[in-house]
C-alpha cells in the first residue's frame, strides 16, 4: 500500500524540469526563425520600440532647446537679431550642441568612475543612470540626424549622426554600457568648439578669448580622442572580438556594425587630428592656420554645421 500521490509530488523516474538557460534566452533572442536580414533590421529599431519612452522624449527636449535658442538668443546677444538667417541657424545649432556637451560630459565623467566601473566588461549589465544618460545622447542624435537631413549636410555629417545614433541607441537596450560612457567623454572638446562658433557669430574674431578657446579645443581633442581614445579603441576591439564567441550575444550584425563604426570614427579622428596639427605648423600664416585647423577638426567630429540652408 503506497500513499496517494499529491498534486505536488514528482515522478521519481522523470528527470526534473530544467528552465531554459537565461543567457541563451534573453529578450533579444526571441526571433529565432527570422532571416539574418530581418534580424538585423529588427535590431535597428528594437531600442526605439523597447526604450522609446526614454529616447523620444529626450529627442523632443533637444528640439525644445533648439526652439528656445531661436526665441531667446536675441535677448542676451543683440547681434543675433541682425545676423543673416544662415548664421542664426549656425548659432542655434551650436547652442544645442553646446548644451548637450555641457550636460553629458560631467555626468559621464562621474558615471565612468562609479556605475561603469561596477559593470565593466559585461555585455548586458545595466545601470539605470547610464541608461538615462545614453537616452539623452540618443535623443540628441535623433535631433542631429533630422537637422542633417533638413539642411542637406554633407555625407560626413550624416554618417556621424547615423553612427552615433546607432551606437547609443543600441547601448540603451542595454549593451556594452560601460564602454559607451567612456566614448561620451569624447565630447569633452565640444564645448570649446561650439563656444568658438558662438564667439565668431557674435563678432569676436581675432580676440584673445577666441584664441584661448581654439587652443583648449585642439588640446582636448588630441588628448582625449587620440591620446586616450585610440588605445581604448584598440582594447575595445579586442573585447568586441571576444564577445563574438559569447553565447549571450543577441546579434552578430549589431556587433559588426559597432566594430565598423569604431574603426571608421577612429580613422576620422586620426585624419582630422593630423590635419589640425599640419595647419598649426609654423609654415602656415598665423592668421589663417588656427581657423583652418579648428574648422577641419570640427567638421570631422560633426560638432560644427556648415549650413547650406537655414531652419
Residue 264 backbone class (left: φ over 0; alpha: ψ -120 to 50; beta: rest)? alpha
Res. 40 pLDDT band, cuts 50 70 90? confident
Whole-number Å distance between alpha carbons of 174 and 228: 24
Question: Would you say residue 199 has pLDDT above 60?
Answer: yes
From the number of C-beta atoms within 10 Å of its C-beta (0-12, 13-18, 19+), residue 136 rates as: buried
With beta carbons less than 8 A apart as the criterion, state whether 304 and 194 touch: yes
- C-alpha dihedral sign at 240, 248, 169, 216: negative
Question: Would you say residue 265 has pLDDT above 80?
Answer: yes
Whole-number Å distance between alpha carbons of 90 and 201: 8
Whole-number pLDDT of residue 13: 45
Among 8-12, 276-280, 304-308, where is mean pLDDT lowest?
A: 8-12
Whole-number pLDDT of residue 254: 84
Whole-number Å distance between alpha carbons of 144 and 66: 11
pTM for the complete prediction? 0.80
Whole-number pLDDT of residue 122: 87
CA dist list (Å): 165 to 192, 258, 277, 306: 22, 11, 29, 20
Pull the grid cell for residue 177.
554600457
- Which residue's C-alpha cell is 529588427? 42
Grouping H, G, I as helix, E, B as strand and the rest as coil, residue 75 is helix
Distance from chain centroid for Cα 41 = 20
**Mean pLDDT (whole number) for 246-263:** 85
Among 116-120, 185-189, 246-250, where is mean pLDDT lowest?
A: 246-250
Q: What is the dihedral of CA 49, 112, 121, 242, to 10 degrees?
A: 80
Amino acid at each position: 500500500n503506497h500513499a496517494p500521490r499529491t498534486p505536488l509530488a514528482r515522478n521519481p523516474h522523470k528527470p526534473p524540469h530544467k528552465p531554459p538557460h537565461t543567457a541563451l534566452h534573453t529578450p533579444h533572442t526571441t526571433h529565432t526563425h527570422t532571416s539574418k536580414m530581418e534580424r538585423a533590421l529588427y535590431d535597428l529599431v528594437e531600442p526605439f520600440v523597447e526604450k522609446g519612452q526614454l529616447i523620444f522624449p529626450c529627442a523632443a527636449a533637444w528640439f525644445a532647446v533648439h526652439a528656445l535658442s531661436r526665441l531667446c538668443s536675441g535677448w542676451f546677444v543683440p547681434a543675433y537679431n541682425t545676423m543673416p538667417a544662415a548664421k542664426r541657424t549656425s548659432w542655434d545649432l551650436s547652442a544645442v550642441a553646446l548644451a548637450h556637451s555641457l550636460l553629458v560630459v560631467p555626468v559621464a565623467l562621474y558615471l565612468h568612475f562609479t556605475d561603469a566601473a561596477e559593470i565593466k566588461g559585461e555585455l548586458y549589465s545595466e545601470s539605470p543612470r547610464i541608461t538615462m544618460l545614453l537616452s539623452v545622447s540618443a535623443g540628441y542624435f535623433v535631433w542631429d540626424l533630422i537637422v542633417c537631413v533638413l539642411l542637406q549636410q554633407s555625407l560626413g555629417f550624416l554618417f556621424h549622426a547615423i553612427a552615433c545614433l546607432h551606437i547609443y541607441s543600441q547601448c540603451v537596450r542595454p549593451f556594452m554600457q560601460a564602454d559607451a560612457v567612456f566614448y561620451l567623454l569624447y565630447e569633452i572638446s565640444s564645448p570649446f568648439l561650439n563656444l568658438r562658433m558662438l564667439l565668431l557669430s557674435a563678432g569676436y574674431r581675432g580676440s584673445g578669448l577666441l584664441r584661448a578657446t581654439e587652443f583648449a579645443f585642439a588640446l582636448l581633442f588630441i588628448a582625449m580622442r587620440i591620446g586616450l581614445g585610440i588605445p581604448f579603441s584598440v582594447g575595445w576591439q579586442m573585447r568586441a572580438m571576444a564577445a563574438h564567441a559569447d553565447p549571450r550575444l543577441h546579434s552578430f550584425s549589431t556587433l559588426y556594425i559597432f566594430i565598423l563604426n569604431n574603426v571608421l570614427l577612429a580613422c576620422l579622428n586620426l585624419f582630422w587630428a593630423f590635419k589640425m596639427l599640419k595647419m598649426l605648423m609654423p609654415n602656415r600664416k598665423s592668421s589663417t592656420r588656427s581657423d583652418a585647423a579648428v574648422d577641419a577638426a570640427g567638421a570631422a567630429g560633426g560638432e560644427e554645421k556648415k549650413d547650406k540652408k537655414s531652419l
